[in-house]
Structures are given as structure tokens and as C-alpha cells.
């Protein structure tokens, strides 16, 4: 039963499911607001280890979503000035915020090695995933 799993165990399972089932999801992870600091902290993830375990608000795609409260779909990471590269194989990225009681408390971040792979279906699907995650956090 899922009842014995910690929140982090469940989040890791979600990462594993997404990574295993969508061929163009090549790095899947969660970042969360780090206490009351204006920065994100890396949570559970699947994919290559990243040096970017702390990201200041405003920095990179993730940091921008922390302040915009909006989905950010990047078809081509080389076209972004405010971008934090984690791996040279990454071509595209999608970040969807997670809201708890209307507050942006974190995000799901997915990198793809395929250029321009993300559609509105990915946005709608990942918004649904983020809503389910939000329910686990209240
Ligand atoms: N590329 C992200 C940094 C996180 S890595 O993708 C895991 C960004 O620009 O915020």
C-alpha cells in the first residue's frame, strides 16, 4: 500500500513513472521553495545528477517560474538567455508550478533530449500531476 510511503518516496515514484513512460521526458524532478528563503531546493528526481540543487528565485527557467507562477515551455534551450544548463544533451524543458492554497510552493521540471517535444497536452497532463502532488502536501 502507498500508505507507508513518505512524500519523497511518492514524488520519486512519480518521477520514475513519468521518465519510464514518456520517451521524451529525460530528466524529471521536483524543486520546492526552500523554507522562507527566496530560492528553490531540489527534491526527488530521476536522471543525471545536477549541480543545481539550489536555484535562486529569478535564475534559470525554474527560478523564473518561482516568481511568474506560470507554466514555462522552452522548445529550444539555446534560445534562452536566462537558462541554467545541467547537461549538454538537453534540448528542451518544461516547468509547471505547484500551488498549495493558491501559493506557488514548487514545481515539476522536465528536460528533454528531443528538440521542441512539448505540446499543450503535456501542459494539461503535468498540471494534473501537479494538482495531485499538491493534495499530497496539504
Ligand atoms: N535548466 C533549469 C535548471 C534545472 S536542470 O534542468 C535540472 C533552469 O534553467 O532552471
Give me the domain span that covers residue 98. Answer: 2-137
Mean pLDDT throughout 106-131? 98
Q: Total structural domains in the chain?
A: 1
Predicted confidence (pLDDT) per residue in 57-71, tens digit: 999 999 999 999 999
Whether 118 and 75 have beta carbons less than 8 Å apart is answered as yes
pLDDT at 2 over 90: no
Residue 113 Cβ < 6 Å to ligand 1: no
Q: What is the DSSP string of the chain?
A: -GGGS-HHHHHHHHHHHHHHH-TT--EEEEEEE-TTSSEEEEEEEESS--S-SEEETTSHHHHHHHHH-S-EEES-GGG-SS---S-TT--EEEEEEEEETTEEEEEEEEEESSSS---HHHHHHHHHHHHHHHHHH-
Ligand 1 midpoint to CA 61 (Å): 6
Which of the four pLDDT bands, split at 50, 70 and 90, describes residue 7?
A: very high
Ligand 1 midpoint to CA 121 (Å): 21
CATH number at residue 64: 3.30.450.40
From the alpha carbon of 59, which atom of ligand 1 is closest?
A: 10
pLDDT at 4 over 90: no
Which of the four pLDDT bands, split at 50, 70 and 90, describes residue 3?
A: confident
Ligand 1 midpoint to CA 20 (Å): 20
Report the residue count for the chain: 138
Mean pLDDT, the chain, integer? 97
Amino acid at each position: 500500500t502507498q500508505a507507508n510511503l513518505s512524500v519523497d518516496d511518492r514524488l520519486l515514484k512519480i518521477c520514475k513513472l513519468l521518465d519510464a513512460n514518456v520517451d521524451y521526458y529525460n530528466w524529471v524532478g521536483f524543486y520546492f521553495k526552500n523554507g522562507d528563503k527566496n530560492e528553490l531546493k531540489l527534491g526527488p528526481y530521476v536522471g543525471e545528477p545536477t549541480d543545481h540543487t539550489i536555484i535562486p528565485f529569478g535564475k534559470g527557467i525554474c527560478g523564473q517560474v518561482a516568481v511568474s507562477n506560470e507554466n514555462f515551455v522552452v522548445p529550444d534551450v539555446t534560445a534562452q538567455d536566462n537558462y541554467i544548463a545541467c547537461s549538454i544533451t538537453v534540448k528542451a524543458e518544461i516547468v509547471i508550478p505547484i500551488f498549495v492554497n493558491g501559493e506557488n510552493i514548487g514545481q515539476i521540471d522536465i528536460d528533454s533530449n528531443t528538440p521542441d517535444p512539448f505540446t499543450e497536452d503535456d501542459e494539461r497532463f503535468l498540471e494534473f500531476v501537479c494538482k495531485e502532488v499538491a493534495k499530497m502536501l496539504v
